Structure 1
Amino acid sequence: MEPSDKSLETTFNEKGELISPVLPQGVKNFLIDIDGTICDDIPNEEPERMGTCLPYPDALRIVNKWYDEGHIITFFTSRTEEHREITEYWLRKHDFKWHSMLMGKPRGGNYHWIDNHIVKATRFKGKFTDLVVKNRDVEVFND
């Protein structure tokens, strides 16, 4: 389910040096949490619930819509590697479309992501909808 390297564009900086590949214009790289975001929050300490919880219908619809529009879907979860098989089974069982999954996201929240690419963050507050643009204050490095 990985996106092909053909979907990445070769990019050069102003000095003509090769830099990290980027997605084509308009394609987003979604990193989506699982527990508490696309289904009820299931703690790692209760793995028996991972296969039986139900997805949030709006999450299933919107995630699959984004996938069908050509965006990259990666699930990023605090579930551990030992939960990969049941998690992939659950995603397939409920017909989620995705490209990859990253396990072992740090638990506890209050994330601050630092990257050499543009990062946008959206906090899930109980309702999955299409995204809208709003201006907010963000923390940045002091130039």
Structure 2
Amino acid sequence: MSLVPGNDYSLARPLPETVSLINRLYDRGHRIILFTARGYVTGIDWAETTRQQLESCGLRYHQLMFGKPAADYYIDDRMISLEQLKDQFGQ
């Protein structure tokens, strides 16, 4: 959803196409849960910064969750990549 230079989340900038896609899914009645690993490794609390960024870019969601373990890959039986979402629901 954003570009993060040097893992400094205070500098994160939204990807407008991704925000638009997620908002369309939200508007169509899909439940949007954001699950982030922000701060998992460093112990920095990015919650308020993240909430402000999401509000500022107008991203609509139902729930924001922190504490996702940092990993190289996530395997999930309900997982879909942003590219797959774009293919399925359009730009």
Instruction: State TM-score, norm by structure 2.
Output: 0.75
- Please point out which of 79, 91, 95 is paired with 2:54: 91
The 5 A counterparts of 1:56-67 are 56-67=15-26
Which stretches in structure 1 are left out of the alignment for 5+ residues? 1-37, 114-118, 133-143
Instruction: Give the equivalent residue in structure 2 for 1:131.
Output: 88
C-alpha distance in structure 1 between counterparts of 2:88 and 2:31, whole Å:
15
Report how many residues are paired: 84
C-alpha distance in structure 2 between counterparts of 1:47 and 1:54, whole Å:
9
Quote the offset at 1:128 in angstroms: 6.1
Instruction: Give the equivalent residue in structure 2 for 1:77.
Output: 36
Amino acid across the alignment from 2:79: A
CA RMSD of the aligned region, Å?
Answer: 2.3
Instruction: State TM-score, norm by structure 1.
Output: 0.51
1:121 partnered with 2:84: no
C-alpha distance in structure 1 between counterparts of 2:68 and 2:21, whole Å:
22
Other structure's SS at 2:46 match: helix
Which stretches in structure 2 are left out of the alignment for 5+ residues? none
| Structure with the larger RCO, 1 or 2 (CA within 8 Å, 6+ apart) | 2
Q: Which of the pair is proportionally richer in helix?
A: 2
- Please point out which of 55, 78, 82 is paired with 2:14: 55
**Distance verdict in 2 for CA 1:78–1:107, change over 3 Å:** same
Contact residue 38 and residue 67 of structure 2 kept, 8 A = yes
C-alpha distance in structure 1 between counterparts of 2:9 and 2:70, whole Å:
15
Contact residue 4 and residue 13 of structure 2 kept, 8 A = no
